[in-house]
Structures are given as structure tokens and as C-alpha cells.
Structure 1
Amino acid sequence: MTERTRWIVRLVCLAYVAFLTLLLVSPDPARWFGLWFPRGGGGGIGVHFATFLTLGVLVGASRIPVRTSVLIVLLLSYAIGMELLQWFSPPRTVELKDFVENLLGLVVGITLWRLAAHQTIGAATTADDSHADEPPPDPADEEEH
């Protein structure tokens, strides 16, 4: 990934975080899209998982230059913070199920990114080693030229 592409992914990640924050703390984000849910019905099982999985993939792809432990603390804090902020945004509610989905989505998203990155690196290494079965060049041949 080029440096320019990496910065584009980082900007997309930042925009996604801003959009996700608005969705999670808004009293009725479904109305923005013309959707209707029964009061307290929420988006259903898996919505938090899917949104945080996407966040995990984007964070992994952006390769933010901070220590992994710091990144994990920031992501966990964000997941906890978003769930707690819903307490102050009626009719939103704080639910353990949503928090668990947030965490699982982050873990799966980052893991998927790491696996994909590992496969890509492995494929590139294999392509570079395509001549590995050939014997090394004979130094005597080089002296003749």
C-alpha cells in the first residue's frame, strides 16, 4: 500500500468514526434514512457487531502509527464510551448485549484485517521466491564476462 493510499484509508476511517459516533448518540438515527423501528426496538441483533467490525477493518487497514496496546485501549474506550453516551440520549439505552457486539466486532474486524494482510504479504513473498528452486548463479560464469 502506498503512503498516499494509506492516508486515504485513514481519512475514510476518520469519516467513518465521525459518522458512527453520530449514529450511536443520535436519539433516532433510523429517521435519517426513512426507517422506522418500534420504540426501543433498535436496529436488531448484529447491527453493533457489523458497524464495529467495519471499524476494526478500517483501523487495521489504516495502519495508524501507534503501539498496538495503545490502539486497543483507544478502541475499547471508544466502544465503552459510545455505549455509555447512549444513556444521555433518550430514547437510546445502554445494553450489555450492544457492548459485547461492539467488542466482538472490533476483535473480528482487526483479526480479519491481520489475516488478509498476512495472506497478501505471504503471496508477495511467494512470488519473490519463484526462483527459489533454481540453483544460485555460478561465480565462474560471472568472471567470463
Structure 2
Amino acid sequence: MSEFSHLDEQGNARMVDVSQKQDTERTAIAQAKVRMKPETLKAILEGFVQKGDVLTTAKIAAIMAAKRTSELIPLCHNINLSHVDVEFESDIDNGILTIRSSVKCVGKTGVEMEALVAASIAALTIYDMCKSVERGMVIEEICLLYKAGGKSGEWKR
């Protein structure tokens, strides 16, 4: 069980003790994709969704979620984030809206979960705001794209 840092020798869940780790700059980038009909994506981009500005609302939701990750994921540390950003890329022909979240901090543990939560909540917010237009949207490819900092250094998908 020692390969899982959130488990003790008996296999019980635990919060990892990071008190002896050095503070370093930490960065993570994650993504999520929302697949929908091209007409739905056009409505989002052109501002024709009844609930309002979908992308701005999703961005705010993502930032709020990143800041509250430790309240959502049981064994995550509470991290003092220094930056959260969310960008959107649209592929109208294929009806795909890609969400990329980037998160930074200076601390003892990484911000991968914060970036993943931000991308996930942005996708869920988009679904919520557009479900009256299309219930068949699919949230997919939630994944970590990049992380840097700490002892393990840089990682890229």
C-alpha cells in the first residue's frame, strides 16, 4: 500500500503530512470538454442562451470551485491559491467546447486537484445553463494536461 500516499501501512485513509516539504511555485493545467450540437455551441458563443452569459458564468464558477477544492475532495489540503484562470476554445463544426483551467500557488503541495475541479465545475455550469436547449450534452476528457513544481518537477500529457 505504500505506493498510495493517502493510505497508511494498514490501508486506512489519511491526509498526507506535508509539513516538512519546501514551499515551491506550483502550477497545474487541466481540461474538460463539453460535446454538444453545433447549434447549441453557436447559441453559447453568440449570447443567445436564456440563462445569460454562459462562458463568464462558467469561468466564475470554476474560480470559485478551485478555491474550495479542499471542501469537496476529502483528503486535499487547503491551499492558498495565487492565480486561477479559465480559457475556452470552440470547435463549432464538431460541437466541442474545450475548457482549460490553470492554477498557481506557492506552497508545499500541488494544485492538480484545484485545476481539475475548476475545469469540471466550468463544464457542469455550461451543462446547467444550456440544458433547456440540449439535454444530450456530454462532458468528457476531464484530465490533467500539465503540472510543475515540487520534488517531482514537471509533467506533461
TM-score normalised to the size of structure 2? 0.30
Higher relative contact order (CA 8 A, sep 6+): 2
Larger Rg: 1
Bigger helix share:
1
TM-score normalised to the size of structure 1? 0.32
Bigger strand share:
2
